[in-house]
Structure 1
Amino acid sequence: MLTSRRTGPPILPKEGMGSNLDPSSPHPLPSWLSQEDLSYYASKFDKSGFTGPLNYYRNLNLNWELTTAWTGAKVKVHVKFITGDLDLVYNSLGTKQYIESSGFKRDVPNLEEVVIQEGVVHFNNQEAAEDITNHIYEFIKKF
């Protein structure tokens, strides 16, 4: 899932994540993810488990209830939005249309720029680190 280039919805085998991986034939890591990075992340999940990150998704209904007070709220700070054109979230139902329509600008009135990085997935800060750094630097130096 971390390195998928598919823009459609994730399709997981009913046996669970990782059940279709052949340990004798590991998938090569992408250029932006080193074995050292992967080992570091894995060590953190070894220590704390993966339950915390999954609980957000298990709790979606309550999350919506807890944030209803902010329904219709506007993001009033200056914003530069950056995503990858292959990002699963960007390509999920209605998101791309919302970002590209006047709806996003309506809800984020100080939206200065939307950057869609070609060929980049969800972890754009890792996959296109130098590009992201340059975008952030150019954005904050205006202030």
Structure 2
Amino acid sequence: MSDLQHKFVDTNGIRMHYVEQGAGPLVVLCHGWPESWYSWRHQIPALAAAGFRVVAPDQRGYGQSDAPAPIESYNILNLVGDIVGLVNSLGVESAVIVGHDWGAPVAWNSVLLRPDIFRAIALLSVPYFPRGAMRPTDGMKALAGDQHFYQLYFQEPGKVEKELDADPRRSMAMVLYSASGDAPRDGEFSFLFPKTKKFIETGTVPAKLPPWLTEADLDFFAGEFKRAGFRGGINWYRNADRNWELTPFLDGAKLRQPAVFAAGEHDVVGKMIPGGYELAGAFTPNLKKKVIIPGAGHWVQQERPNEINQVLIEFMKSL
């Protein structure tokens, strides 16, 4: 089987780093926050071995890809434009797109805006739900009440990245462990926290890493954020209202491509969205399968790689 190749492409005004492996129909893997192409380390070889050409970029603001300074350059139309440019550069006509966490909105907006390119979609952790009537930060304020909601906390430029940049390895250990299925239920990451606390104080740094995360994995993630800083990825959150303002034409849009959804039983996202994972499929008429993995948390493709690989390969082979 072909080895993992590191490549760069100029797309939508940025230089983007991506990894590629395999030959066959194209699959694009979009990571979330705070991650990189590396969060797909278990899927890339498995999908390549199953007969697919797999491409996993460091998205805008992450890893070895460019991180433009202006906050507004991280709006959803740019994030989709980056992926479209990447696919066009590969000389193929169509692709299946997979998104985890923040990568899920990138994936579903890619599918909604360019159905001519993206023929099917897999969403991990975050189910598709259409643009709503309420400005996102107003919804967040209603949810937060008299507490901090982490996405609102992230809105102030310079604040949370300073906390996270101080010790990237500790920050990554805390975020990865606390949002996983291995964190004790009373020590898991909460998306709401008291106003007396900083975000960096809301999770647990484990004495011993969970079995799915090695010291080498943590070193890799920490090294990427040491180089790139956390600001680029955090800027995605600072475009929540801008994305809403840019996309009124997507009001109530249904996702009609063949789709699959998978998440961990203990994923905090399921608690954050009203209706949680029951929603998956409500706006996706062609949802082929929904899988909730017992015991897993937010980093489902890292925590339960075999189950996720099986879901993805079965879905892609059925297309």
Q: TM-score, length-normalised on structure 1?
A: 0.81
Partner secondary structure for residue 132 of structure 1: helix
Cα RMSD over matched residues?
2.6
Correspondence 1:124 to 2:306: no
Q: Structure 1 runs of 4+ off > 6 angstroms?
A: none
Which 10-residue stretch deviates more, 51-60 or 127-136?
A: 51-60
Deviation digits for residues 59-81 of structure 1 (CA, Å, limit 9, x no counterpart): 21112212322121111111110
Correspondence 1:53 to 2:53: no
Tell me which amino acid in the other structure corresponds to 2:241: N
Correspondence 1:9 to 2:191: yes
Percent of aligned pairs with the same amino acid: 32
Name the residue aligned to 2:266.
86
How many pairs align?
137
- Of 278, 285, 302, the match for 1:100: 278
The answer to whether the 8 A contact 1:81-1:113 is kept is: yes
Q: CA deviation at 1:8?
A: 4.7
Partner secondary structure for residue 90 of structure 1: helix
Higher strand share: 2
C-alpha distance in 2 between matches for 1:21 and 1:71: 35
Deviation digits for residues 39-92 of structure 1 (CA, Å, limit 9, x no counterpart): 111111111110011111222111221232212111111111001111111111
Q: CA deviation at 1:139?
A: 1.2
Q: CA deviation at 1:13?
A: 7.4
Tell me which amino acid in the other structure corresponds to 1:61: D
C-alpha distance in 1 between matches for 2:193 and 2:201: 13
The answer to whether the 8 A contact 2:190-2:202 is kept is: no
The answer to whether the 8 A contact 1:7-1:91 is kept is: no
C-alpha distance in 2 between matches for 1:56 and 1:31: 30
| Structure 2 alignment gaps of length 5 or more | 1-174
C-alpha distance in 1 between matches for 2:197 and 2:189: 22
Q: TM-score, length-normalised on structure 2?
A: 0.39
C-alpha distance in 1 between matches for 2:206 and 2:299: 21
Name the residue aligned to 2:242.
62
| Structure 1 alignment gaps of length 5 or more | none
Correspondence 1:111 to 2:290: no
C-alpha distance in 2 between matches for 1:11 and 1:140: 40
Tell me which amino acid in the other structure corresponds to 2:263: T
Partner secondary structure for residue 55 of structure 1: helix
The answer to whether the 8 A contact 2:177-2:206 is kept is: no
Change (3 A) 1:52 1:117: same
Q: CA deviation at 1:12?
A: 6.8
C-alpha distance in 1 between matches for 2:234 and 2:189: 21
Name the residue aligned to 1:135.
311
Change (3 A) 1:21 1:78: closer
